[in-house]
Amino acid sequence: MICAEEDLEVCGEAATAPEALDALRRIKADAVVIDISLPGSDGIELLKHLRSEHPHLPLLVISAHDEKVYALRALRAGAAGYLMKNEGEDCLIPALRKALAGEVWVSPAFGEQIIYKVVHGAEAGGNPLDGLSDRELEVLRLIGAGKSTQEIADLLHLSVKTVESHRLHIKEKLALQTSTELVRFAHEWVGQESA
């Protein structure tokens, strides 16, 4: 779709976060369209890393992850917009053009949610996951995907003790009493997010 535009061209592609970082060190890009679910990376951490290396480069996120959970996190990490994949065909080019113009893109529905929260207070209609840190949310997603504590530690390059600490904080913040409740909650959440 980008290449179909007369004034736009794709100057590079990457399949993983390290490839993306390497490509951006070699290529002069005017904007980046990024899926925050690249293999082997925490997408929000990748956004933060890209923002630190390229502070003025517009970063447009396109993702299958629910914008209610991830959009505001992505924007806080430095994204110029958050686009759900199911709206990509109609919205990708307008969102990319907004990012290139230094503006922010979010779906109309998400924009309304943000305005509602500003008017009625941050807690109004809040999602229980909003209280989790970016890392805790990533750990919860991996728990829901059936990963063990050791596998999560390996994937996120953390110690097992750190992952266990994140699991404890997640349980506390979500008012879950047992590890079984945590796994059930995570599995159901990942299932809803995939649906």
Same domain, 177 and 157: yes
CATH number, domain containing residue 149? 1.10.10.10
Same domain, 113 and 182: no
Contact between 60 and 83 (Cβ < 8 Å): yes
Domain count along the chain: 2
What interhelical angle do 160-173 and 149-156 show, nearest 10?
110
- For residue 2, tell me if it sits in a domain: no
Same domain, 101 and 161: no
Determine phi and psi for 141, rounding to 5 degrees: -60, -40
- For residue 165, tell me if it sits in a domain: yes
Instruction: Write down the pTM of the prediction.
Output: 0.70
Domain enclosing residue 171, as ranges: 128-194
pLDDT in tens, the chain (195 residues): 888 899 999 999 988 888 888 999 999 899 999 988 777 667 788 888 889 999 999 999 988 877 888 888 899 889 999 998 887 678 899 999 999 999 999 888 888 877 877 776 655 556 778 888 889 998 998 999 999 999 999 988 899 999 999 999 999 999 899 999 999 999 888 776 655
Contact between 31 and 100 (Cβ < 8 Å): yes
CA of residue 139 relative to chain centroid, distance: 13
For residue 36, which of 52, 20, 23 has the smallest C-alpha distance?
20
